[in-house]
Amino acid sequence: MAKKKKSKYLTDKQLKSAIKKDSTRVQHESNQIARLDKHIKADQKKYDKAAGSEKTSLGKRIKKYEGSKKAHTAAKKKYATKLKTEKATLAKRNLNAKVEANKNKLAGKIAANKPKFNVGHMMLYRTDNHSSALVFMSSVPESEDNTIQVTPNALPKGEPTATHSQQQEKDISITARIMGTDAQQRTAYNQMLKWKAEGCEMTYKGRIYYKHCLFTALHREYNKDETALTITFGLQFIDWSELKTSGKSASSGSKNKTENKSTGVKYVTTKVGTTYASLASDYNTTIAKLVSMNQYKSYVNNLPAGVKIRVA
């Protein structure tokens, strides 16, 4: 059995050059296909009116054009697939570079804040590191709720109780003070509002330390006798489900079948054109239920792309 040839590693510069070259190739093949379509259409009109040897000659020419069109179509598909892969590779590298740069910026901000005594050392930032924004605060009380739902039915004697209970969502409630000038306080609070509106996964580091949390509430309170801005916010820990894609389903004939291997709260990331209606259909629920579970109340037609939407 022949070994699969490893693809050659390309530097960013080489990748950009390849993208430019393959874009030109795709455009060239498209132009050739359009030119052949024009010839085929013109000859087809002549063919319909011709007779005898002229008709035979035109038929051969049309067949030749169609064969050439088929070859150009295959070439276009090949270059388009290659181009898509190259663009995806470059985009992934750019994102990874951005994430690493943001990690370094966050580490620098945290290190610079350590000696300060009047800012607070509790912090909140995006888990995915797609931004270097960071909010420091001085936490007052932090609370964490862990609940388990136990069946109200009688349990079979001797059976493990764990099989009749289910872990519920983990809720975190925090009251904190944002220090600094009025402008600094507003900037920090507005950043939190932005994270909440965009459905960003958050990391909170205080006495409680959690990654992968979403905002469930955010409230502020002004007090003229205090120099700090008092805020209260809620976070909910998200336990992401493991998705497994299997091959073709024998019963439905679909190419991909997704099996959810976990229960509880479920979120999906939206794409361009995702709507509550399409999600309701995909996850066997209702539009009203989806709207009630998510922050995007006014986005009935199209949801923002790239945000997390709760579907269960």
Q: Give every residue of the chain whose pLDDT is below 70, as ranges.
A: 1-7, 155-156, 158-168, 224-226, 240-264, 297-301
pLDDT at 56: 92
For residues 78 and 73, give the distance between their C-alpha atoms in angstroms, rounded to a whole number. Answer: 9
pLDDT in the model for residue 70: 95
pLDDT at 260: 43
Q: What is the pLDDT of residue 14?
A: 92
For residue 245, give both structure tokens: 């894609």
Distance CA 117, CA 261 (A): 46
Dihedral of the alpha carbons of 289, 292, 293, 296, in degrees to the nearest 10: 120
- Those residues whose C-beta lies under 8 Å from the C-beta of residue 98, and which sit 6 or more positions away, are 130
pLDDT at 3: 58
- The pLDDT of residue 252 is 43
Instruction: Find all residues with CB under 8 Å of 178, minimum gap 6, and list them.
Output: 120, 135, 136, 137, 138, 184, 185, 188, 189, 228, 229, 231
What is the Cβ-side half-sphere exposure of residue 142, based on CA atoms within 13 angstroms?
A: 14
Tell me the C-alpha distance between 278 and 276, whole Å: 6
Q: Are 22 and 83 within 8 A, CB to CB?
A: yes
Provide the pLDDT for residue 75.
Answer: 96
